[in-house]
């Protein structure tokens, strides 16, 4: 890209899930040297070199990979920017700041160990025109991606500014016209931070026309303001917390003048003039007796198909709403046509920008999310995503949410005119201030919204219930009486998180939704309770239940089916293991063969 281009349009590589073998992992800044980044104490900096599997493509400058140890004690992979790569050896170099449990694991690997790899991901830095005067700026660990970019440029064609708290690293391969190093403690180069060495006077005197930068957000905000003032272009490599890295979960959005953009797929490189940096907020402080039945073993290939409300699924594994986008996001990672169904991202009548502030917080065996139902709106879905989603083999289920009964009804009316085979009515989202979960907490409200939607659509209607309801059975029965064809439960549990160092709340909305393996036992119990209630009804009055909540293995899925679930949905675990759902399908199949089960009915509800 030249500095005159509007945005980064470089082609993205084919993202795959594979592994890399550790060639070396060396500490280049000792753990004893403490860096202060965003008010958090951190350890050293490590240089990790991975020899990628043959199916894993090499990156372009500016891209990143999602990395996780095998095995790992953390749920999510970590997004690590590329520092360098070797085409002949098929290796990729990373500089990693040891900051938390995930990066600590990556920094402690031994030669020959295997690392899970998802990538390469994101867009890239495109090279400037030959007549442009370029400044490249790296701050702290943000030196890695811009140093990797600088390496690809002709020698002496750029000036490089590197700023650190203390010491320096990642500059060995830099061949700049000017290499200016500054450190906060004066240990290397000029004492002081970026404004000391890079300011309005610097830009004018050197005649820069374009700036590329990566580093802490305050530094990038300074660069953006400075470039705007002097009238030159800048391109910023941004960072955000990620879960999937594939653009499906919307946890890593960056506010721009064109609306929210996903850091993982729309970035990480953005035109600086389009970034909207949030003003720092001072968050308020906190005040703070079963027998399993089995059949004789046989060699018959089992059937995993299930029919729910007249719709046939080839198998009971469904991608949960909010975790899988619209399906096609994961097409290059595994055969998504092997799934039974796909629930769309939650859709509302009007476009929603979602919640402000931090949207994801990893916790023990789970993730707390505060996405806030960001989505393009139902009409946009119908025009842009519906056709592609319906072309996929899995059953398409559209997740419908709203802020009022009127918006639910109008949304359902629009979907009624489409070829979408099923609707999942979401009355259980805890991450919106109006509507959402409010309709799913009390039987009367749940009945009213379900009946209103039922009256305007003939499509099979699944109602998604909240585990936060004081009387879940009463809510389930009310939506059944209002015309629901099936139930899905549970949605996320209300939760919260605190930054103990700052003594402040993590989420702008205070409360958010907990998902992942941590909630599985509670979700299983709730599915069991509802299924037991259904068993006590006359057969014609019963409706099927789809179980979800923390399912990450075939054993989890079988448990839900054994307590009565007709099918299951998988969400957060896909972030940790993109092949999770395929492994669940294979595991259920092997289990049924081993037990001699011919169909899911042979063990459904045996508990």
Q: DSSP states of 457-486 as a string?
A: --S-EEEEPPTT-TTHHHHHHHHHHTT-SE
Cα separation, 103 vs 74, in Å, equals 10
Residue with tokens 């709203």: 402
Q: Which residue stretches of 129-182 are H helix?
A: 143-151
Q: Which of 166, 163, 161 is nearest to 202 (CA)?
A: 161
DSSP state of 605: T
Active site residue 227: no
Do 175 and 156 touch, CB atoms closer than 8 A? yes
Catalytic residue (choose from 210, 263, 429, 531)? 429
Up-side HSE of residue 112: CA atoms within 13 Å toward CB? Answer: 0
Q: What is the SS3 assignment for 227?
A: helix
Residue with tokens 């949410």: 401
Cα separation, 220 vs 275, in Å, equals 10
Do 350 and 407 touch, CB atoms closer than 8 A? yes
Surface-to-core class of residue 292, CB atoms within 10 Å of its CB (0-12 exposed, 13-18 middle, 19+ buried): exposed
Cα-to-chain-centroid distance, residue 202: 39
Do 559 and 524 touch, CB atoms closer than 8 A? yes
Give the total residue count for the chain. 607
Report CA dihedral (526, 530, 535, 539) to the nearest 10 degrees: -150
Cα separation, 403 vs 457, in Å, equals 19
Surface-to-core class of residue 156, CB atoms within 10 Å of its CB (0-12 exposed, 13-18 middle, 19+ buried): exposed
Q: Which two tokens stand for residue 445?
A: 């409200």
Do 298 and 550 touch, CB atoms closer than 8 A? no
Q: DSSP states of 382-406 as a string?
A: IIIIHHHHHTSSSEEEEEE--SSHH
| Phi and psi angles of residue 495, each rounded to the nearest 5 degrees, phi first | -150, 175
Residue with tokens 């879905």: 381
Cα-to-chain-centroid distance, residue 530: 30
CB atoms within 10 A of CB 557: 25
Torsional class of 543: left (φ above 0), alpha (ψ -120 to 50), beta (otherwise): beta
Do 243 and 249 touch, CB atoms closer than 8 A? yes
Task: Give strand pairing partners of 162.
Answer: 138, 181
Cα separation, 446 vs 437, in Å, equals 10
Q: Which two tokens stand for residue 118?
A: 């998802």
Residues classed as catalytic? 429
């Amino acid at each position: 890209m030249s500095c005159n281009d509007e945005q980064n349009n470089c082609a993205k590589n084919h993202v795959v899930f594979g592994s890399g073998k550790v060639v070396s992992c060396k500490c280049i800044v000792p753990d004893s040297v403490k860096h202060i980044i965003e008010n958090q104490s951190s350890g050293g900096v490590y240089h990790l070199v991975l020899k990628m599997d043959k199916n894993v493509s090499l990156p372009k400058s500016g891209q990143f990979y999602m990395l996780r140890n095998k095995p790992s004690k953390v749920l999510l992979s970590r997004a690590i920017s590329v520092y360098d790569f070797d085409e002949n050896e098929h290796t990729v170099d990373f500089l990693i700041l040891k900051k938390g449990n995930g990066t600590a694991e990556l920094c402690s690997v031994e030669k020959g160990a295997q690392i899970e790899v998802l990538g390469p991901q994101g867009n890239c830095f495109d090279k400037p025109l030959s007549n442009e005067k370029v400044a490249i700026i790296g701050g702290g660990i943000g030196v890695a991606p811009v140093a990797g970019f600088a390496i690809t440029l002709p020698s002496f064609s750029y000036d490089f500014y590197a700023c650190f708290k203390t010491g320096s690293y990642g500059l060995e391969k830099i061949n700049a016209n000017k290499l200016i190093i500054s450190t906060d403690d004066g240990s290397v180069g000029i004492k002081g931070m970026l404004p000391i060495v890079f300011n309005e006077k610097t830009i004018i005197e050197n005649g820069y026309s374009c700036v590329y930068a990566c580093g802490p957000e305050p530094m990038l905000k300074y660069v953006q303001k400075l470039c705007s003032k002097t009238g030159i272009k800048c391109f910023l490599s941004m960072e955000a917390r990620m879960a999937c890295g594939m653009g499906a979960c919307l946890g890593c959005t960056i506010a721009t003048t064109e609306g929210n953009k996903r850091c993982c797929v729309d970035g990480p490189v953005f035109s600086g003039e389009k970034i909207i940096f949030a003003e720092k907020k001072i968050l308020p402080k906190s005040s703070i007796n079963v027998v399993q039945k089995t059949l004789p073993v046989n060699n018959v290939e089992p059937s995993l198909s299930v029919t729910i409300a007249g719709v046939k699924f080839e198998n009971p594994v469904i991608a949960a709403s909010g975790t899988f986008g619209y399906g096609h996001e994961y097409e290059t990672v595994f055969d998504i046509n092997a799934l039974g169904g796909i629930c769309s991202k939650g859709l509302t009548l009007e476009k929603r920008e979602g919640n402000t502030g931090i949207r994801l917080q990893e916790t023990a065996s789970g993730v707390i999310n505060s996405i806030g139902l960001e989505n393009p709106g139902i009409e946009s879905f119908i025009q842009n995503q519906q056709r592609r989603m319906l072309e996929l083999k899995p059953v398409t289920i559209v997740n419908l949410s709203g802020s009022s009964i009127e918006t639910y009804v109008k949304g359902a009316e629009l979907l009624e005119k489409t070829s979408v085979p099923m609707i999942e009515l979401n009355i259980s989202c805890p991450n919106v201030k109006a509507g959402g979960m409010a309709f799913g907490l009390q039987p009367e409200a749940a009945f009213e919204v379900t009946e209103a939607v039922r009256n305007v659509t003939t499509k099979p209607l699944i109602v998604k219930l909240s585990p936060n309801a004081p009387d879940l059975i009463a809510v389930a029965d009310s939506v059944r009486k209002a015309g629901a064809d099936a139930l899905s439960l549970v949605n996320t549990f209300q939760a919260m998180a605190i930054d103990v160092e700052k003594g402040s709340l993590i989420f702008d909305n205070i409360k958010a939704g907990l998902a992942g393996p941590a909630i599985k036992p509670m979700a299983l119990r709730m599915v069991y309770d509802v299924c037991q209630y259904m068993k006590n009804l006359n057969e014609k009055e019963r409706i099927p239940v789809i179980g979800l909540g923390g399912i990450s293995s075939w054993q989890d899925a079988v448990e839900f089916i054994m307590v009565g679930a007709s099918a299951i949905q998988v969400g957060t675990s896909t972030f940790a293991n993109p092949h999770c759902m395929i492994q669940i399908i294979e595991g259920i199949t092997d289990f049924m063969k081993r037990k001699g089960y011919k169909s899911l009915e042979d063990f459904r509800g045996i508990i």
